[in-house]
Amino acid sequence: MRHISVLFQFLFVTLGIMIGIVPSVRAFEIGDIEIHGFISQGYLITDNNNYMADTKGGTFQFDEMGLNFSADVTDQLHIAMQIFSRDLGDVGNNEVGLGYAFGDYRWLNWLGVRAGKIKIDYGLYSEIREMDMFRTLIMLPQSVYPEIWRDSFSNINGVSFYGYVPGGFMGKFAYNFQIGAMDFDPDGGFAGYLHHKLNDDLNLTDIDSDYSWFSNIQWHTPVQGLKWKGSYYRIEGMSAQGDLSMVTKEGDTFDTVIHYDFARKDGFTLSLEYLWKNLTVSAEYSEDTLDSNINFEDETIQAPPGGGPPETTSQGWYLSASYRFTDWLESALTYSEYYPNKDNCAVAIKIRTKSKKSGNTVSV
């Protein structure tokens, strides 16, 4: 995440306070520029395990702030940017950075181009997940929208092609294709997920990829308020490395650098949403697949047969309904399930290493 100077951080906080106190949203115009801002503060507490933060004792480390600017340069050209900050336990820590900044040129109804740092359009709500005023739930269902992934799966630095195509009696179709580079922070939330997925003893030092692409198609059906959406993403050339300490049965310790090359990191989501008066009903199903190969800098350590752990696919889904009773009261109910491995199999990987004293088998 790109950092901003202390002076600019002070300006951001000052403007945020002027816009409103938690939770609030305001908008006003200066000439042809629209300025919007929001501040939200939450409190997390659990009665048993810690969930994404130190929640057993309760924590206020759960807040978001944003300040965005937008303008219509012409009837077809729109520009926008957002300054954003959030904190969720050890993730974010209220560092101020550029949430998005892009130019959007709508050439025709069926073809528009958006370029810069753009919001990822995946599933029903990924593109607007930082705008909590547009939904009832404080957090989106974690089975499909993992909060811990947001530092990497919110934006993409690249270009997007999108448009709408009328379908006559079948309704209307929309598409969006995005391609570019994702930001991976080895100390971020997605890295934490990857660290746990690969090896709990791993000290992850670097994550990178060649490029990523996201695509989706929406069908606005002839039934008013009913739409279907299918989304797919793939990260190409993804790799990671970190420091790993291994201990043999005889007590020998090996410190080595381990490299992961991901043969596959992709996923898809199928979505359904129905709006009727003050009622919103939605359902989504998602799968994510991870397949990696292992290499060691220490040549005395041999990678396991097949090059690494087996390919695994996580699975998640939810059902949700919300209803707006008045302008100031809205309620929602959600049921969600998530499986880290849809095949529900636990696999232990063995590698072989030969020390100066003796040959031993250790687990990774």
Rounded Cα–Cα distance for residues 309 and 294 (Å): 8
Structure confidence at residue 306 (pLDDT): 58
Structure confidence at residue 300 (pLDDT): 63
Structure confidence at residue 8 (pLDDT): 36
Structure confidence at residue 20 (pLDDT): 39
Structure confidence at residue 103 (pLDDT): 95
Structure confidence at residue 78 (pLDDT): 94
Helical spans, DSSP H, in the chain:
6-19, 189-198
Could you tell me the CA-to-CA distances from 294 to 77, 171, 234, 257, 291 in Å, in that order? 47, 48, 20, 11, 10
Rounded Cα–Cα distance for residues 240 and 233 (Å): 19
Rounded Cα–Cα distance for residues 137 and 128 (Å): 13
Length of the chain: 364
Rounded Cα–Cα distance for residues 85 and 97 (Å): 6
Vertex 300, ends 294 and 305: CA angle to 5°? 40
Rounded Cα–Cα distance for residues 102 and 116 (Å): 4
Rounded Cα–Cα distance for residues 112 and 97 (Å): 27
Is the separation of the CB atoms in 220 and 172 below 8 Å? yes
Q: pLDDT tens track of the chain, all 364 residues?
A: 333 333 334 333 333 433 333 344 445 444 588 998 988 898 999 888 888 888 888 899 889 899 999 999 988 999 999 999 989 888 888 889 899 999 999 999 999 999 999 999 999 999 888 777 778 888 899 999 998 888 889 999 999 999 999 988 999 999 999 999 998 888 877 877 777 777 767 788 889 999 999 999 999 999 999 999 999 999 999 998 888 777 666 667 777 788 888 888 999 999 999 999 999 999 999 999 999 888 777 666 666 655 566 788 999 999 999 999 998 999 999 999 999 888 874 444 444 444 444 444 344 4
Residue pointed to by tokens 């797919």: 232
Q: Which long-range contacts (CB under 8 A, 24 or more apart) does 34-39 make?
A: 34/69, 34/70, 34/71, 35/67, 35/68, 35/69, 36/67, 36/68, 36/70, 37/65, 37/66, 37/67, 37/68, 38/64, 38/65, 38/66, 38/131, 38/132, 38/133, 39/63, 39/64, 39/65
Closest by CA to 322, choosing from 127, 145, 134, is 134
54: left (phi over 0), alpha (psi -120 to 50) or beta: beta
Is the separation of the CB atoms in 195 and 260 below 8 Å? no
State the Rg of the chain over Cα.
23
Residues 6+ apart with CB under 8 A from 142: 316, 336, 338
Q: What is the DSSP letter of 59?
A: B
What are the tens digits of pLDDT across the range 195-229?
777 776 778 888 999 999 999 999 999 999 999 99
Is the separation of the CB atoms in 148 and 192 below 8 Å? yes
Burial environment of residue 191 by CB neighbours within 10 A (0 to 12, 13 to 18, 19 or more): buried
In 10 A of CB 48, how many CB atoms? 7
Structure confidence at residue 347 (pLDDT): 42
Provide the token pair at 191: 């890295």
Rounded Cα–Cα distance for residues 331 and 287 (Å): 28
